[in-house]
Amino acid sequence: MKKSISGFSKLSKRKKLRWIVENFFKDPENVMRELMSHWHQNEEQQRVLDGFSENTISNYVLPFGVAPNFVINDKTYVLPMVIEESSVVAAASSAAKFWMERDGFKAKVIATKKVGQVHFSWSGNVDKLNSVFEELDAQLRIDVSHITANMENRGGGILDISLLDMTHLEDDYFQLKVNFETCDSMGANFINSVLEEFGRSLKTFVATNEGFEGKEKELTIIMAILSNYTPECLVRAWVECPVEDLGKNGDLNASDFAQKFCKAIRIAHIDPHRATTHNKGIFNGIDAVVLATANDFRAVESCGHTYAARDGQYRSLSYCSVENGIFKFWLDLPIALGTVGGLTKLHPVARRSLELLGNPSASQLMEIIAVAGLAQNFAAVKSLVTTGIQKGHMKMHLLNILNHLGANEKEVSETVTYFKDKVVSFSAVRDFLDLIRGEKKKDINLLTDQKASS
């Protein structure tokens, strides 16, 4: 049984860490030193990072990589990518280069609507509520005008409010469904503040409106919260070229490659098992840029997966066609992002990621991130239908294995050369390292023996 503690959050960071290492680790002093070695050298920056969360005891570091040569709507980008999986940045870079030579990626934001809901219980006559809805709508807008004024100045605000009768699904259940435009911010705080105020206004409205009587004057707010499902905050990214321009890929000529690639995409529309892995590959690219720009990857993921299941079956987010000799590959992605607010400008590296991208608007970032997903998907499926994924993956994984086995620079170089045309596995790499380390030992022993006898 682990120890418990009260008042942990009140302890200083150092004391928190001390309590953790002393109670949960076998070698407290070393673990304390090790976790402290990840503290930022710059105290101010560390304070900023600590401010993002609670009970922080150290920093969890992830690699910050870049994928160059992304041509998107005729402009060239270097994409910042934060990801722990080897091959993802390499795959993105290779897809970027492939399409750079074929007119690049295109992307277009289709809509930017965000959604919020006030869920409430009410046992009155719905026709009465509908009959005063216009009045209610106006009152709700007035009651939140102190919250919406700023957003309205930026060109956003509340788009529309609708009343949904959900009593066929749950007794007394109604909903206010609200659409918002939040410009360059993701808008979660703005939306939630508006919705909570709507909840209070709604209660007062039915309690004081003379059209209601008895029980109709009582209304219970169950919850007021944004929805992370934003199917109308949608972007499309695509690539296209004449089939023959695809060139030879692996052993496949351009036409066979195009057909096989499209079949692979169709399979991901038919089979949920494949669709899940297929979309995981898409999110390899999306999440990496979402994280690099300090956006909310959980929101992005949950939205994308709901969208992928919008017709009742989980399916591929990407599509492919070969028609009239033209290969087309595209992705439709609902994604709510911000380039102002949240952590986007506070996180020291995210700020640089956005600068690297030319400080895009939220809509431009939607386009860039959709392209990152499409590029990743293209690279993965291209490998899958030609050489298979393991060839590239294991070459990258080789470096992780060598790291794990503590190989020095020379051993890394010798092992990488040796495995150029061989199948990589942990045991094969370990055996090869043992062999070269053994041979070196033999050479050293030989030299010492020679020295001793001379």
User: In this chain, which of 281, 285, 338, 342 binds ligand MEV, going by CB under 6 A?
Assistant: 281
Is residue 382 within 8 A of residue 239, CB to CB? The reply is no
The least CB distance from residue 61 to ligand MEV, in Å, is 21
Choose between 228 and 279: whose C-beta lies nearer to ligand MEV.
279
Does the protein bind ligand MEV through residue 280 (CB under 6 A)?
yes
Q: Rounded CA gap, 174 and 288, in Å?
A: 38
The least CB distance from residue 256 to ligand MEV, in Å, is 19
Give the residue from 232, 188, 235 showing the smallest Cα distance to 363: 235
Q: Rounded CA gap, 430 and 398, in Å?
A: 10
Token representation of residue 169: 């699904």
Does the protein bind ligand MEV through residue 114 (CB under 6 A)?
no
Does the protein bind ligand MEV through residue 389 (CB under 6 A)?
yes
Residue 450 CB partners (closer than 8 Å, separation 6+)? none
- E strands in 340-428: none
Does the protein bind ligand MEV through residue 380 (CB under 6 A)?
yes
Q: Which residue's C-beta sits nearest to ligand MEV?
A: 281
Which range in 134-142, 152-160, 173-181, 376-384 contacts ligand MEV by CB under 6 A?
376-384
Does the protein bind ligand MEV through residue 316 (CB under 6 A)?
no
Site string for ligand MEV, 80-99 (x = CB under 6 A): -----x--------------
Does the protein bind ligand MEV through residue 392 (CB under 6 A)?
no
The least CB distance from residue 389 to ligand MEV, in Å, is 5
Q: Which residues pair with 178 in a beta bridge?
A: 116, 161
User: In this chain, which of 114, 236, 278, 382 binds ligand MEV, going by CB under 6 A?
Assistant: 278
Does the protein bind ligand MEV through residue 344 (CB under 6 A)?
no
Q: Rounded CA gap, 294 and 53, in Å?
A: 13
Give the residue from 355, 382, 141 showing the smallest Cα distance to 239: 382
Collapsing DSSP to helix, strand or coil, 182 comes out as coil
Is residue 57 within 8 A of residue 35, CB to CB? The reply is yes
User: In this chain, which of 69, 182, 230, 284 binds ligand MEV, going by CB under 6 A?
Assistant: 284
Does the protein bind ligand MEV through residue 277 (CB under 6 A)?
yes
Does the protein bind ligand MEV through residue 285 (CB under 6 A)?
no
Element spanning 265, H or E? helix 254-270
DSSP letter, residue 392: H
What distances in angstroms separate CA 159 from CA 141, 182, 191, 397, one per listed residue? Answer: 10, 10, 12, 49
User: Which residues are catalytic, by number?
Assistant: 85, 280, 296, 393
Contact residues for ligand MEV, defined by CB under 6 A: 85, 277-278, 280-281, 284, 380-381, 384, 389
